Amino acid sequence: MLDHIHVRLATASDAPELARHRGEMFRDMGQLPDNQYDTLLAVAERELAAWLVSGDYVGFVASPEGRPDEIVAGAGIQIRKLLPRPLPDGGGIRLGPEAIVLNVFTERAWRRRGVAEQLMQHVIDWARGHGIARLVLHASSEERRLYERLGFEATNEMRYTGELPGEPADQDIRP
């Protein structure tokens, strides 16, 4: 049963907590070595604050009712412009941006209570109301059932793993 949770739009002042969520999410997935944790938090906090102000990132945070300073979960979307493309059914052309869902994280003590699902419903509702043409995400195996229940399906996305000539490798941060 879902505890009484209040969800609100994130602001730049939430960036430190959202950055910590990002770090914990990558730790949970086994992708963030301990010696890189503080660096990721510092850079993520800076970028999230700037993106929240610019509107390139729209975040949501969840708190127990009556305790607004206790953020127990968060989720957000990075908005990306896309060129026009055919509708999946071939019946026309789709315009509008897409958003990639990022940083879905729930504190361990609040997991399995429906908080992430409630956050994701806010993300979906916000996207519907703001002209987002498509939502995409990358799901871990543990999260797949939630996303499928919400209407997401696996696609044919692939990722290039070679080095790109224009890649700003000098901007990568190494310990």
Q: Where are the domains of the chain?
A: 5-152
Tell me whether residue 151 is exposed, middle or buried, using C-beta atoms within 10 angstroms of its C-beta: 0 to 12, 13 to 18, 19 or more: exposed
pLDDT over 70 (residue 10): yes
Work out the pLDDT band at 159, boundaries 50, 70, 90.
Answer: confident
> Whole-prediction pTM value?
0.89
Question: 5-152 maps to which CATH number?
Answer: 3.40.630.30
With a cut of 90, say whether residue 168 has pLDDT above it.
no
Mean pLDDT of all residues in 67-89 = 93
Considering only CA atoms, which of 39, 59, 60 is closest in space to residue 48?
59
Amino acid letter, residue 95: L
Whether residue 50 is predicted with pLDDT greater than 80 in this model: the reply is yes
pLDDT of residue 1: 43
Q: Which helix (H) or strand (E) holds 16?
A: helix 15-28
pLDDT (average), residues 119-139: 95
